[in-house]
Amino acid sequence: MTDRPARLGEASRAWKVQVIRWSGPPAAWLRGVAHSPRRAALAGCVAALLVVAALVPLSRADVTDSVQFSLAFFATLLTGEAVIFALSFSPSSSWPSLREIDAHIAFREWVVAGWLASMLTAAGLLTGTLVPGSYGALLFLLADVFGIFSFIRLFGLASADGRRQLLSRTLADALSGVPSPASDLRREMTGNAVLSAYLGQLEDATARSDQRGP
């Protein structure tokens, strides 16, 4: 009798841990809306398109036609980004890392907008409801706009000068968070992921006498 409540309590705690873990990234993204004009613009557009879809829903045929063209353009942009990334970045390099590239080109925002659009469109078409399908079609247009923005930003990183500019901005932001004067500057810098990656690249370039390093 005592084992069953104990097992139920353990299962409930494990479920709560999973919920907290799954809700962590969306919650962190929502907290960043107040500090990021790009995220604030995306959130505002998503809310505005929901109102438009509710007030003026599209027909099933219009949703299907719109999504076909939007999806084709979405796939074209995604393929272009994959080609640029494969030709311009080395997987062995820790700088710029995927985190810095993603923050610069808004790749996650673009893909999440496309994912949400596809889910809503599919749900609307399967259930025969106009509002979700219309909302998904409008979100696909928004995803394409963010895709163009992401493609242009990534294209700017394809050159060494573009990567150095991103490096200088990111390092300036990271160094601004280091307390001054610091009792142990080296420890403070290695404790920061951005600064630690930069120091590693700098030491590697020094060891190889590579003057083109960071």
Rounded to whole angstroms, the Cα distance separating 196 from 111 reads 29
Residue 105 and residue 146 in one domain: yes
Angle ∠(65,67,156) on CA atoms, nearest 5: 130
The SS3 assignment for 88 reads helix
Residues 178-213 pLDDT 10s: 555 555 555 555 555 555 666 666 556 555 555 445
> Which position has the token pair 């099933």?
60
Model confidence at 1, pLDDT cuts 50, 70, 90, reads: very low
| pLDDT tens-digit map of 12-50 | 666 555 555 555 455 555 555 566 777 788 888 999 999
Q: Span 59-82, mean pLDDT? A: 91
What local confidence, expressed as pLDDT, does residue 26 receive?
A: 55
DSSP 3-state of 179: coil
Structural domain containing residue 7: 1-35
Same domain, 27 and 49: no
- 19/48 same-domain check: no
| 139/200 same-domain check | no
Whole-number pLDDT of residue 35: 63
Query: Is the domain of 170 the same as that of 210?
Result: yes
Same domain, 135 and 201: no
- Please give the model's pTM, rounded to 2 decimal places: 0.67
Q: Are 106 and 157 in contact (CB under 8 A)?
A: no
Which helix (H) or strand (E) segment holds residue 163: the answer is: helix 160-176
Same domain, 121 and 62: yes
- Say whether pLDDT at 57 is over 70: yes
Tell me, yes or no, whether 100 and 22 share the same domain. no
Q: How far apart are CA 99 and CA 94, in angstroms?
A: 10
Assess contact for 63 and 136: CB atoms under 8 A: yes
The count of domains in the chain is: 3
Q: Bigger pLDDT: 168 or 193?
A: 168
Mean pLDDT of the chain: 75
Flag the least confident range among 89-98, 137-146, 158-167, 175-184: 175-184
58 lies in the same domain as 139: yes
Instruction: Based on the fold, state whether residues 153 and 164 are members of the same structural domain.
Output: no
Query: In this structure, are residues 184 and 115 in contact, taking their beta carbons and an 8 Å threshold?
Result: no
Region for 132 from its dihedrals, namely left if φ exceeds 0, alpha if ψ lies in -120 to 50, beta otherwise: alpha
Give mean pLDDT, residues 146-164.
83
5 prior amide bond cis, ω within 30: no
Residue 155: CA count within 13 A, CB half-sphere: 10
Task: Judge if 52 and 112 occupy the same domain.
Answer: yes
Q: Is residue 51 located within the same domain as residue 103?
A: yes
> Per-residue pLDDT tens for 90-117?
665 556 677 778 888 888 888 888 999 9
Contact 154, 78 (CB under 8 A): no
Q: What is the pLDDT of residue 139?
A: 94
